[in-house]
Amino acid sequence: MRLGGLALGIALLAPGPALAHPHIWILQQVRPIVVDGKYTQVEVDWRFDPETSESEIAAIDENHDGKFSAAEIRLLVKDTMPGFEKDGFMTFLNTGGKDFRPAKAASFAARIEAPASFAPPDWDRHAGDKDEPAEKGPAASAQLPRNLVYTMRYALPQPTKTFSLTTFDPEYFVRYDIDRAKLAAGCRWGKHPTYKSEFIPGQPVFADTIACKLP
C-alpha cells in the first residue's frame, strides 16, 4: 500500500472529532464553462497552503524530479478519488432546485506551482489538539514555497443560466476559501447562510459560496 501524502483524502475518510483550527488551508478558484450561452460544467482549482503542499508533493512525486508524471497522477487518483467521491468533494452545487453533490469529477489533474501564488497567514494548525502531540512542519528549505494544485471539473446535470457552488468541511479540518481576486464574469462571492463549520459551539465559521448568472 502506498503511504504518505494524501492528507486531504485521509481527512475525508477519517472518523472522530474535528480539531479547533484547520490543519489544511485551500484557496479555491472557480471557472464556469459556458457552451451556447449556458453553463455546462464547472472547473475548480484547489491550491494547498505551502506547508501542506510540501508534505503532499513529497509523497506524490516519488522520483523527486519536481513534477508529476502520468504514472504518479494515476496513483494519486487511485488513492484519493474514492474518498473524494464518497464525500462529494466536500462540495454542494445548485442549479435552481435542491443542492446536490458531484458524484465524480469529469476530469482531474494535479501539478506543482512554483513559486507559490497562495500563502495564507500563519496560523496554529495544531491548536485544539488534545489527543495528539503537535507535529513539526517540514524543515525549512532553500527553495521558494510551492503550491500543490488539483484541478477538477464537474458536469452540471443540464445546461443552465445559473448555478452556485459551496465547498466546506463541517469538521473544519480543511478550510476552503474562494479566490475572490479571480471571480469569473457574472459570478459573485458570499457566505452561505446555513453551511458552516462549528467545532466550538456558538462560534460558527460560515462557508464561502459563489453564485454565477448569465444574462
- Flag whether 136 is in a domain: no
Residue 202's pLDDT band, with cuts at 50, 70 and 90, is confident
The pLDDT value recorded for residue 6 is: 54
- Flag whether 89 is in a domain: yes
Lowest mean pLDDT among 47-51, 151-155, 196-200, 206-210: 196-200
Q: pLDDT for 8-39, tens place per residue?
A: 654 544 444 444 579 999 999 999 999 999 99
- Flag whether 108 is in a domain: yes
Contact 189, 183 (CB under 8 A): yes
Rg (CA), the chain: 17
Please say if the pLDDT value at position 1 is more than 70.
no
Distance from C-alpha of 69 to C-alpha of 57, rounded to nearest angstrom: 12
Which residues have a Cβ under 8 Å from the Cβ of 77 and sit 6 or more positions away?
108
Distance from C-alpha of 12 to C-alpha of 31, rounded to nearest angstrom: 24
Task: Please give the residue that has the higher pLDDT: either 136 or 87.
Answer: 87
- Flag whether 132 is in a domain: no
Q: Would the pTM of this model clear 0.85, i.e. be above it?
A: yes
Q: Which amino acid belongs to residue 127?
A: A
Nearest to 89 by CA among 99, 103, 78: 103
Q: Read off the DSSP letter of residue 128.
A: T
- Flag whether 169 is in a domain: yes
Q: Can you read off the three cell numbers belonging to residue 131? A: 489527543
Q: pLDDT for 138-190, tens place per residue?
A: 444 557 999 999 999 999 999 999 999 999 999 899 999 999 999 999 999 99
Which residues have a Cβ under 8 Å from the Cβ of 79 and sit 6 or more positions away?
2, 5, 6, 9
Task: Please give the residue that has the higher pLDDT: either 5 or 145.
Answer: 145
Please say if the pLDDT value at position 136 is more than 70.
no
- Flag whether 3 is in a domain: no
Which residues have a Cβ under 8 Å from the Cβ of 146 and sit 6 or more positions away?
50, 53, 54, 57, 112, 113, 114, 115, 116
Mean pLDDT of 127-145: 60
Residue 67's pLDDT band, with cuts at 50, 70 and 90, is very high
Name the strand (E) or helix (H) holding 66.
none
Contact 72, 61 (CB under 8 A): yes
Mean pLDDT of the chain: 88
The pLDDT value recorded for residue 3 is: 36
- Flag whether 8 is in a domain: no
Residue 203's pLDDT band, with cuts at 50, 70 and 90, is confident
Q: What residues make up the domain containing 205?
A: 20-120+144-213
Domains in the chain, number? 1
- Flag whether 134 is in a domain: no
